[in-house]
């Protein structure tokens, strides 16, 4: 049965919108774990636009399941990972102007650097995953640089404009998953997955773990809104009732 790692970056995005203290991703992680997630994922970006170093360090102390750190394949981040020691590092390509991770790593082109970084992280006892497009050559390169896992980018499947395109992308994912399985690599998948498209994706039994963020936090904002408004309406009414009483 596949595991679910929940990406809580968006909780930090909301906090950073006011540069305040809430919502706190550390509290969110505990709720996510209580609800049954198998892991917590955060992406510490070079520009620190959502998750902060403080969050990562506290999460390392509080997360009871598995902490997966997504990060760029650069020395600054490798040093941080070696200090904090998450259970897994997922190396991703990172562009400053992007809204979210846009594509997979080109493992073939970046072989030399990745070989070195993967080996440092693995020597530090950290499991290493590489976020790649569903491409068999990239799977093979990931094995060659020593990665334990590949995370297959499901974004193109999720964003497919029509059924044919969706099926073609699903086929690519399936081929990449089968190739990684043959090479005995661990297999994760993620990006753009939601409550609808996960139904088909979760039928791929070889996938060990799904990494899902946006879909879950977007759903939480809507299903949690009713309760949040009721609680505030109650407080507003209570205060009005108090004001109407003689002082
Ligand atoms: N996997 C990786 C490598 C990512 O960069 C992201 C987005 O941060 C996700 C999974 C989760 O994607 P989404 O937020 O669309 O569920």
Tell me: the pLDDT tens digits for 167-181?
Answer: 999 999 999 999 999
Predicted confidence at residue 243, as pLDDT, reads 65
pLDDT value, residue 245:
67
pLDDT digits (tens, 9 = 90+) for 11-31: 999 999 999 999 999 999 999
For 132-170, the DSSP string reads E-S-HHHHHHHHHTT-SEEEEE-HHHHT-SSHHHHHHHH
Q: How far is the CA of 238 from the centre of ligand 1 (A)?
A: 42
pLDDT tens track for 89-118: 999 998 877 777 778 999 999 999 999 999
In the prediction, which pLDDT does 22 show? 97
Indicate whether 244 pLDDT > 90: no
Q: Is the pLDDT of residue 202 over 80?
A: yes
Instruction: Provide the pLDDT confidence category of residue 161 given band limits of 50, 70 and 90.
Output: very high
Mean pLDDT (the chain) is: 95
Helix or strand (DSSP H, E) at 29: helix 25-34
Query: Measured from the CA of 131, which atom of ligand 1 is nearest?
Result: 3
| Structural Rg of the chain based on CA atoms | 20
Q: Which atom of ligand 1 has the smallest separation from the CA of 101?
A: 5
Distance 56 CA to ligand 1 centre (A): 17
Q: How far is the CA of 239 from the centre of ligand 1 (A)?
A: 42
For residue range 135-147, list pLDDT tens digits in order: 999 999 999 999 9
Angle between helices 25-34 and 53-62 (to 10 degrees): 30
Dist CA 169 CA 113 (whole Å): 29
Q: What is the pLDDT of residues 207-241, one digit of tens each?
A: 999 999 999 999 999 999 999 999 999 999 876 66
Q: Catalytic residue numbers?
A: 43, 70, 191
* Helix (H/G/I), strand (E/B), else coil: 43: strand
How does residue 246 score in pLDDT terms, banded at 50, 70 and 90? low
Q: What is the DSSP string of 160-202?
A: -SSHHHHHHHHHHHHHHHHHHHHTT-EEEEESS--TTTHHHHT
Which pLDDT belongs to residue 213? 98
Do 38 and 66 contact (CB within 8 A), yes or no? yes
First-to-last alpha carbon distance for the chain, in angstroms, is 62
Say whether pLDDT at 67 is over 70.
Answer: yes
Cβ partners under 8 Å of residue 11, min gap 6? 23, 24, 25, 28, 217
Is the predicted pLDDT of residue 70 greater than 70, yes or no? yes
**Mean pLDDT, rounded, for 150-164:** 97
Query: Residues with Cβ within 6 A of ligand 1?
Result: 7, 9, 43, 70, 90, 92, 100-101, 131, 151, 190-193, 211-215
User: Ligand 1 centroid vs 73 CA: distance in angstroms?
Assistant: 16
Element (H, E) at 27: helix 25-34
- Residues 216/159, Cβ–Cβ less than 8 Å: no
Phi, psi (rounded to 5 degrees) for 186: -70, 150
Q: At residue 44, does pLDDT exceed 90?
A: yes
pLDDT the model gives residue 98 = 78
Nearest CA to ligand 1 atom 1: 190
Ligand 1: residue of 213, 214, 219, 221 to mutate (most ligand atoms within 8 A of CB) is: 213
**40: which strand partners?**
6, 67
Please choose from 86, 101, 198, 212 the residue to mutate so as to test ligand 1's pocket, defined by most ligand atoms within 8 A of CB. 101
Average pLDDT over residues 42-63: 98
């Amino acid at each position: 049965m596949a595991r679910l790692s929940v990406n809580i970056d968006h909780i930090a995005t909301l906090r950073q919108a006011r540069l305040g203290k809430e919502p706190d991703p550390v509290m969110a992680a505990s709720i996510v774990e209580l609800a049954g997630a198998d892991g917590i994922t955060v992406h510490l970006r070079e520009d620190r636009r959502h998750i902060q170093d403080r969050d990562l360090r506290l999460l390392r102390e509080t997360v009871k399941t598995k902490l997966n750190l997504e990060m760029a394949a650069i020395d600054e981040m490798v040093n941080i990972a070696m200090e904090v020691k998450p259970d897994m590092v997922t190396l991703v390509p990172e562009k400053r102007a992007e809204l979210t991770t846009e594509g997979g790593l080109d493992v073939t082109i970046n072989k030399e650097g990745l070989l070195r970084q993967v080996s440092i992280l693995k020597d530090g006892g950290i499991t290493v995953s590489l976020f790649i497009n569903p491409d068999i050559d990239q799977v093979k390169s990931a094995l060659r640089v020593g990665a334990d896992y590949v995370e297959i980018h499901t974004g193109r499947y999720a964003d497919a404009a029509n059924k044919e395109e969706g099926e073609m992308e699903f086929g690519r994912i399936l081929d990449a998953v089968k190739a990684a399985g043959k090479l005995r690599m661990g297999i994760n998948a993620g990006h753009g997955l939601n409550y609808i498209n996960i139904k088909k994706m979760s039928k791929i039994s070889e996938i060990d773990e799904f990494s899902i963020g946006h879909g879950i936090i977007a759903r939480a904002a809507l299903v949690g809104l009713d309760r949040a408004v009721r609680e505030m309406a109650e407080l507003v009414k209570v205060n009005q009732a108090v004001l109407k009483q003689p002082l």
